[in-house]
Amino acid sequence: MEPFVRHEGLVAPLDRPNVDTDAIIPKQFLKRIERTGFGQFLFYDWRFLESGEPNPEFILNQSRYQGATILLARDNFGCGSSREHAPWALKDYGFRVIIAPSFADIFSNNSLKNGILLVRLPEEQVDELFKRCQQTEGYRLEIDLENCTIRDKQGLSVTFDIDPFQRETLLKGLDDISRTLQHEALIAAYEAKRPDYLTPQLA
């Protein structure tokens, strides 16, 4: 996985709570067997009208947010289904960072596995970012994961908390499976002690 150290980019605001993974990537696009190419379907039902034309009302279709790489969101972003297609679609569309007061658990794990940084900030700070983003066309942020800071050009500077394990995984772009396989001997030892009734057997 590509390491995440620092990122600077355009911010797009998505001002609604409980954005679920069905909204991020609707089910008709989950039938593909690849990991790539989901960006075109991101927020499909909001982004496109029934005719297939872009919906001019939807925030990501506005010209000022074209090329956004940082998504500003509300509480409980990514709730619902465990589909990893949601972070695949967000990343493929171009998002590297999502900022919100809270995220759903499974979505958080899935994002981490795909090198997307989720930044949790208190509600007041998120409100302030929404305000700045809406007031300033071309509003950009710089996110520094090494120092856990967010800055804008108008002098805003806030720090954020992140789980140290997640931070290291992102900074180094670590691959979980190879890291786990270093413990192969311990896994085998654990298996040797497992009670037999935990392994399903037909009579």
Partner 1 sequence: MAKTLFDKLWERHVVVEEQGQALIYIDLHLVHEVTSPQAFEGLRLAGRKVRRPDLTFATMDHNTPTTDRSLPIQDPIAAKQIETLIKNCREFGVPLYDLHHENNGIVHVIGPELGLTTPGKTIVCGDSHTSTHGAFGAWAFGIGTSEVEHVLATQTLPQKKPKTMEVYLDGRLPYGVTAKDIILGLIEKIGTAGGTGYVLEFTGPVVKELSMEERMTICNMAIEAGARAGMFAPDETTFSYLKGRPFAPKGDAWERAVADWKTLASDPGARYDARVELDVSALAPFVTWGTNPGMVVPVTGRVPSPEDFTDPVERQAAEKALAYMDLKPGTPIEDIRIDRVFIGSCTNSRIEDLRQAAEVVRQLGKKVAPGVRAMVVPGSYRVKRQAEEEGLDVIFKEAGFEWREPGCSMCLGMNPDILSPGERCASTSNRNFEGRQGRGGRTHLVSPPMAAAAALEGRFVDIRQWNLNLREVTA
Name the site residues for partner 1 (rule: CB under 8 A). Answer: 15-18, 20, 22-23, 26-28, 30-35, 45, 50, 74-76, 79-84, 87, 102, 104-106, 109-110, 113-114, 163-165, 168, 176-177, 179-181, 183, 186-187, 190-191, 194-203
User: C-beta of 149: minimal distance to partner 1 in Å?
Assistant: 23
CA distance 48 to 171: 35
Element at 110 (helix H, strand E)? helix 105-113
User: C-beta of 59: minimal distance to partner 1 in Å?
Assistant: 13
User: C-beta of 151: minimal distance to partner 1 in Å?
Assistant: 26
Of residues 66 and 82, the one with the C-beta less far from partner 1:
82
Of residues 85 and 96, the one with the C-beta less far from partner 1:
85
Of residues 32 and 153, the one with the C-beta less far from partner 1:
32
Exposed (0-12), middle (13-18) or buried (19+): which is 179, by Cβ within 10 Å? Answer: exposed
Of residues 97 and 116, the one with the C-beta less far from partner 1:
116
Rounded-to-10 torsion of CA 103, 134, 96, 53: 100
User: C-beta of 63: minimal distance to partner 1 in Å?
Assistant: 24
CA distance 70 to 67: 9
